[in-house]
Amino acid sequence: MADSATLKEYLTFAIALAKEAGALIKAASEKRMADGGAVLVKYENPADLVTETDQAVEKFIKERLAATYPDHKFIGEETMAAGAETAFTDKPTWIVDPVDGTTNFVHGFPFVAVSIGLTIGKEPVVGVVYNPLMDELYSAAKGQGAFLNVNQQLPLLRAPLQDVSQCLVATEAGSDRSPAVIDKKIQFIHDIVSQLGAQAHSLRCTGSAALNLCHIAKGVLDVYWEVGCWEWDVTAAIVIVNEAGGKVYSGASTPDPRPVNIFSRKYLAIRSGSEEQQLKVAHQLWEIIPEIDAPRKPVPGGFEP
Ligand code: LIP
């Protein structure tokens, strides 16, 4: 593990990089709002959008990281979509989503962020998530706290964590639209909000896994559950949640109190509170969460499905 001064150096670098990347996203968003710019690059799944901006921003971040830290590894959404194979090792590994909330970007819904995470010894240790459209920058390094816009320590809201019936819960439709998957997600929503279920306070979807997690870190969402997103959507924000006193567990239906495997594609985040209360709420969720298949290629050293 790197010492705290080295982590701080990586964090400072990642914050500056996120701001530069954010400026590119903001300019592209303004162009899109003005004249429909940022052409869609289609893959086979029409519910999983990719634009020229995703690709350009990832190229920018990847090149800047390679120039500054040539020994470090890189896992990025667009690089992996283009077929790259990266083993997950103990070496410093940057895990990047250039634009998390691409669908929001395309529609002008302002929950859009660049997400830059770093693992060392396979552990997420640095995370920066920057929403340039709202100018909100979330950052954290292991053992050094989590912050909004560098000087506001997270969580902002420190109310006691209560029963799931008192929670504001976030989830997402996700990009797998097969009826069997959507039926299970709708059943989860029913069981969370209905009078016959947990009757939680309400439900939210921001369209960005990274920003859902940052709102958990802020304390303004209590629970976030999603199956189907990827390590680049969550790695940076997991550091931010952890440093804000929250927890990210497995989002599979089987209770598991260990920290989530970032490659698992199944995430359950609970905001800050006592560990006993966090686990109580997590167990209430595990009783409701359906088992949903989220297939992926094996990641050598990281995840064997
Ligand atoms: C998005 C995730 C979101 C998920 C979407 C999509 P992208 O990431 O953040 O949680 O529901 O389907 O995967 O594609 O905008 O980077």
Using alpha carbons, list the distances in angstroms from residue 3 to 50, 120, 211: 37, 11, 28
208 lines ligand 1 (CB under 6 A): yes
100 is in an annotated binding site: yes
Is there a binding annotation on residue 191? no
Per-residue pLDDT of the chain (305 residues; tens, 9 = 90+): 799 999 999 999 999 999 999 999 999 999 999 988 878 887 778 888 899 999 999 999 999 999 999 999 999 988 888 888 888 999 999 999 999 999 999 999 999 999 999 999 999 999 999 999 999 999 999 999 999 999 999 999 999 999 999 999 999 999 999 999 999 999 999 999 999 999 999 999 999 999 999 999 999 999 999 999 999 999 999 999 999 999 999 999 999 999 999 999 999 999 999 999 999 999 999 999 999 999 998 899 998 77
d(CA 5, CA 8) in angstroms, rounded, equals 5
Q: Contact 97/77 with Cβ under 8 angstroms?
A: yes
Dihedral angle at the C-alpha atoms of 92, 93, 98, 100, nearest 10 degrees?
-110
Domains and CATH numbers, the chain: 4-153 (3.30.540.10), 164-287 (3.40.190.80)
User: Ligand 1, atom 12: nearest CA belongs to which residue?
Assistant: 174
Distance CA 286, CA 263 (A): 19
Token pair for 199: 């009757």
Within the chain, strands assigned E span 73-76, 93-100, 113-120, 123-131, 136-141, 146-148, 152-153, 168-170, 202-204, 223-227, 247-250, 266-270
Q: By the 8 A CB rule, do 52 and 96 touch? A: no
Structure tokens given for 64: 């800047």
Residue 225 near residue 267, CB atoms below 8 Å: yes
- Token pair for residue 217? 């870190």
Task: Give dist(CA 159, CA 201) in Å, integer.
Answer: 15
User: What letter represents residue 184's amino acid?
Assistant: K
Q: Please give the distance, rounded to the nearest whole angstrom, from the Cα atom of residue 99 to the centre of ligand 1.
A: 9
By DSSP bridging, strand 93-100 and strand 73-76 are: parallel
Closest CA to 111 of 226, 29, 46: 29
Report which of 115, 153, 114 is spatially closest to residue 244, judged by C-alpha positions.
Answer: 153
Residue from 172, 182, 213, 267 to probe ligand 1 pocket by mutation (most atoms less than 8 Å from CB): 172
Pocket of ligand 1 contains residue 213 by CB under 6 Å: no
- Which strand (E) or helix (H) includes residue 145? none
Residues 6 or more apart in contact with residue 80 via CB below 8 angstroms: 86, 232
Output the pLDDT for position 261. 97
Ligand 1 pocket, residue 226 CB under 6 Å: yes
Sign of CA dihedral 192, 274, 218, 13: negative
Residue 135 in marked binding region: no
Residues for the chain: how many in total? 305
